[in-house]
Structure 1
Amino acid sequence: MIPESPDGAGRVIVLDVVGLQPQHIDADRTPTLESQFPSESVTDLRPPFPAVTVPAQTTLATGRGPAEHGDVSSGEYERERETAAFWERDRNGRDRIWETASDEAGLTTGVLNFQHLIGSSADIALTPSPIEDEDNNMLEMDCWTNPEGFYDDLRDELDHFPLHNYWGPGANEEGSRWILSAASEAIERFDPDLLWVYVPHLDYVGQSDGPGSDAFEEELAVVDDLLADFLADLSATDRWDETLLTLVSEYGFHDVDRPVFPNRALRDAGLLETDEDGDVDIPGSDAFAMVDHQIAHVYADAGSVDDARDALAGLEGVDAVLEESGKAEYGIDHPNAGELVLVADRDTWFQYYWWEDRAAAPPYATDMDIHKKPGFDPCELFFGDEGLVSLDAAQVSGSHGRVDESALGAFGLGGPAAPALEGDEPVDATDVTPTIADLLGLEDELSMDFEGASLRQDD
């Protein structure tokens, strides 16, 4: 039996369109989105701080903020091993709405292309997991899926997942097209009650060209066309009349015009060391900055925090250096956070480089190596002159991470089973999961300790 919510939503499809903002939805540029989410059905979505991928995704899918769930960056710093790594793929104990609704309420749930999915108990799950050698070179494209063998079926139907169009210098709409086609296949085969679909397309142009660019405007129409094909398939299914579409966007973008290099400042202050290959020697360093767009976690030895603060406080382009009280104010006071957390000015962003001379860069700097680099690198969106990836950080024109009124995401309710969205105040990211649970009639059945409150308006 499918639980029926008070609003009659027997099925919820979440469209996670990164970088989309309410002002992007209109009849001229995005007619498909406007037809399902007219202006009265859409409002701003306030992301958690920091407004970067993993903290935003975990907050949206749990109803908890980073101070509670501990995902404070898209990278993870392990204090015991003194290592930093980005984009690890394991579930690692995370319980999100698709796991709890499947495990505790017996709903059929699914999620496509979220982070940290390997090991998920969602009935339908897919995340890229290429087979790589010890140097992170891809040997064969693969995806981890529930059920086992689902990727083999998708590969036969859609060809391999286009990983090189999903991230890197060749990133384009093909990654989103494949994901939406896979979502249609999942709906046809498994008829899920809840399906969360990650649509990354705008993320690329948002970083490379910035949200104020002509290129971003053009890609709005592209993503709208992709959604038109998916929604045409969805509206032809038997359960369309009981379907609720939920639109979310993890963050909006800032136009930026210059990078900031905190690790250079730490090295100049004698706090950061490198090895013979030019790589950062984290265990041998007194302080190190793990950067992620417009935020940076500075991990420092107990006796070096003051020196690190002094080295970074006067760095041009840094808006704030957060210590214990500042981290609490920003909602990021968790042991996983750095001893210091840097916030960039609105028009700047943090790059991980610690070298000045390109000859001193580590070997992976010009490679597509998202796991080995100890900081997020948007320069991977640009072809380089001396390798696959550019080292010209000045090319990056958009970033995110700060939580400003100008760069909020979007939240909308659409489809045949959508209730009215009353008021025009921004929706907090912690409110999304309790709202979905309530609309599916599950809030009282799930053990998730919701921090947010449901947005559903009772009749």
Structure 2
Amino acid sequence: MAKPLVVINVVGLCMDQIGPDTPHLRAFAEEGFACPMGTVLPAVTCSAQATMLTGKLPREHGIVGNGWYFRDLSEVLFWRQSHPLIQAECLYETLKKEQPDHSTAKLFWWYNMYAPVDFSLTPRPSYPADGRKLPDIYSDPAELRDEIQQKLGDFPLFKFWGPTANIESTRWIADASIELMKQESPDLTLIYLPHLDYNLQRIGPNDTAVAEDLKAVDAEVGKLLEAARTREAEVVILSEYAIQPVDKPIHLNRILREAGYLRVRRETLGWETLDCGASRAFAVADHQVAHVYVKHPGDLAEVKKRILQVDGVEHVLDREEQAAWGIDHPRSGELVVIAAPGAWFTYYFWLDEKVAPDYAPTVDIHRKPGYDPVELFVNPDLKVPMARVIWRLLQKKLGFRYYMDVIGTDASLVKGSHGRLPQVGKEATEGPVFMASNKKFQRDFMKMEEVRECLLAMQMN
């Protein structure tokens, strides 16, 4: 049996960030090795994790983004949790076949519900019928949820995403991982640390304040490294993408609406919602990549032409062109749009703020038909923003229905994004990283599709 293996996913980390602000990461790189890693299109959480675990591109594993248009439902769904959505064999499935007594702990990596692993923890809020959202997690075994939260307190969901997201969620995940490793000694432990994702999008990767975020996440990595050393485990530290500076939001759905391709529904109370099934074309925005679903083949050429004319769009891939990028899967849009450096895509489809959907000024990752990084900000137009937040939280604690309308729709607030592939020669700043304690696997560059085989080799020795 090989040594235990701990894989730490430090979201948003790139080679150029490893230095004086990250003493634990720097020492780890010096003792083992570190190299830039390639990524996949789109360079987003769900697609990257699926590629690392399966060794396949999105065309084979089917995870074409953090969300996509479910054609049979005529709905856009983001951040689904069900493991069967991955259409290729994952690392832990292969290990179980080869070693029936092999055990895996999957801790906050995505597609974690009903995953064929021995231990899983993942965010899963509770939604009572009165409209509240309560912090909670899903676990397997089921009792693990209560055991961990009794020791560490409730999972800080509102520190995991939204305007109050900070190091507390990463610290909780690190502490939970250490507890589980002590209790269960899994052979493979997959750990997800999200902290860098927050301020790198809020203030951009070039802001000097990012140094404090690097120090904070490095401290949590240090705790995990110490726990791994206690178990004499091999360690891999990696990331999914690097975050690049942006200053140009592009509203593809508004462009398609003005051209007559996108339809909306006027709801009873006056606001608009996107009517995907009735639209001839609409975009599912996911950071710097967007899937454009085109109902009628006869519209394809004109839709592609219109989008190519948009300032800030670099590529518009049709089905044939998608093959060269590894994203030609039935779940993909008829067109896949890639932003130019400095640009990113919003999901916004309304033309008048007065009829913006009721979920627009809230943190609502499941109802929004696209990714919305503006959820990381309190609306700067609120006269007394914290008073609004405190009042809404008081309503929640008292058990009242409440409308957590505390964010805005000013996309210019966002200063960092990801999704496009790194520019050639800029992998150290625009691409993810791969680091390992075992120099036997050292190389100058790691393809993301090679991660699975590397981890498999570490566990099969």
Q: Does 1:317 align with 2:337?
A: no
**Which amino acid in structure 2 is aligned with residue 309 of structure 1?**
K
**Which amino acid in structure 1 is aligned with residue 10 of structure 2?**
V
CA separation in 2, counterparts of 1:134 and 1:403? 42
Q: 1:13 aligns with which of 1, 6, 12?
A: 6
Residue 431 of structure 1 corresponds to 450
Residue 142 of structure 2 corresponds to 148
Matches within 5 A, 1:283-322: 283-302=277-296, 303-322=298-317
Percent sequence identity over aligned pairs:
36
CA contact (8 A) 1:286 1:300 kept: yes
- Offset at 1:253? 1.1
CA contact (8 A) 2:68 2:332 kept: no
1:289 aligned counterpart, secondary structure: strand
CA separation in 1, counterparts of 2:130 and 2:78? 15
CA separation in 2, counterparts of 1:40 and 1:228? 15
Q: 1:419 aligns with which of 436, 439, 454?
A: 439
**Which amino acid in structure 2 is aligned with residue 438 of structure 1?**
A
CA contact (8 A) 2:63 2:85 kept: no
> What per-residue deviation string (whole Å, max 9, x for no partner) do you get for residues 27-79 of structure 1?
x2111111212287000010111101110010011111111111111003111
2:290 aligned counterpart, secondary structure: strand
Q: Does 1:409 align with 2:402?
A: no
CA separation in 1, counterparts of 2:94 and 2:127? 32
- Offset at 1:439? 1.3
2:170 aligned counterpart, secondary structure: helix
Residue 206 of structure 1 corresponds to 200
Root mean square deviation, CA, Å: 1.6
Q: Does 1:395 align with 2:429?
A: no
- Offset at 1:111? 1.0
1:174 aligned counterpart, secondary structure: helix
Residue 263 of structure 2 corresponds to 273
CA separation in 2, counterparts of 1:313 and 1:48? 22
CA separation in 1, counterparts of 2:67 and 2:407? 20
CA separation in 2, counterparts of 1:265 and 1:213? 32
CA separation in 2, counterparts of 1:304 and 1:90? 34
Cα separation, partners in 2 of 1:166 and 1:440, compared to 1, 3 Å: same
CA separation in 1, counterparts of 2:141 and 2:125? 17
Q: 2:177 aligns with which of 165, 180, 183?
A: 183
Structure 1 window deviating more from structure 2 (274-283 vs 97-106): it is 97-106
> What per-residue deviation string (whole Å, max 9, x for no partner) do you get for residues 76-107 of structure 1?
31112211010011112534222432355221
Which runs of 5 or more residues in structure 2 are unaligned?
A: 383-404
Q: Does 1:122 align with 2:114?
A: no
CA separation in 2, counterparts of 1:219 and 1:298? 35
Q: 1:160 aligns with which of 130, 154, 164?
A: 154
CA separation in 2, counterparts of 1:334 and 1:136? 36
Residue 370 of structure 1 corresponds to 365
- Offset at 1:212? 1.1
**Which amino acid in structure 1 is aligned with residue 27 of structure 2?**
S
Residue 243 of structure 2 corresponds to 253
CA separation in 2, counterparts of 1:203 and 1:319? 24
Residue 452 of structure 1 corresponds to none
1:259 aligned counterpart, secondary structure: strand
Q: 2:211 aligns with which of 206, 217, 231?
A: 217
Cα separation, partners in 2 of 1:168 and 1:96, compared to 1, 3 Å: same
CA separation in 2, counterparts of 1:428 and 1:345? 23
CA separation in 2, counterparts of 1:100 and 1:173? 34
**Which amino acid in structure 2 is aligned with residue 283 of structure 1?**
G
CA separation in 1, counterparts of 2:131 and 2:68? 18
Residue 399 of structure 2 corresponds to none
CA separation in 2, counterparts of 1:342 and 1:74? 15
> What per-residue deviation string (whole Å, max 9, x for no partner) do you get for residues 277-323 of structure 1?
30011111111100000000000112322332233121111111111
Which runs of 5 or more residues in structure 1 are unaligned?
A: 5-9, 443-459
CA separation in 2, counterparts of 1:256 and 1:202? 16
Q: Does 1:263 align with 2:253?
A: yes
CA separation in 1, counterparts of 2:422 and 2:220? 29
CA separation in 1, counterparts of 2:294 and 2:46? 23
CA contact (8 A) 2:38 2:446 kept: yes
**Which amino acid in structure 1 is aligned with residue 150 of structure 2?**
D
1:55 aligned counterpart, secondary structure: helix
- Offset at 1:233? 3.1
Q: How many residues align?
A: 425
Residue 63 of structure 1 corresponds to 55
Cα separation, partners in 2 of 1:195 and 1:375, compared to 1, 3 Å: same
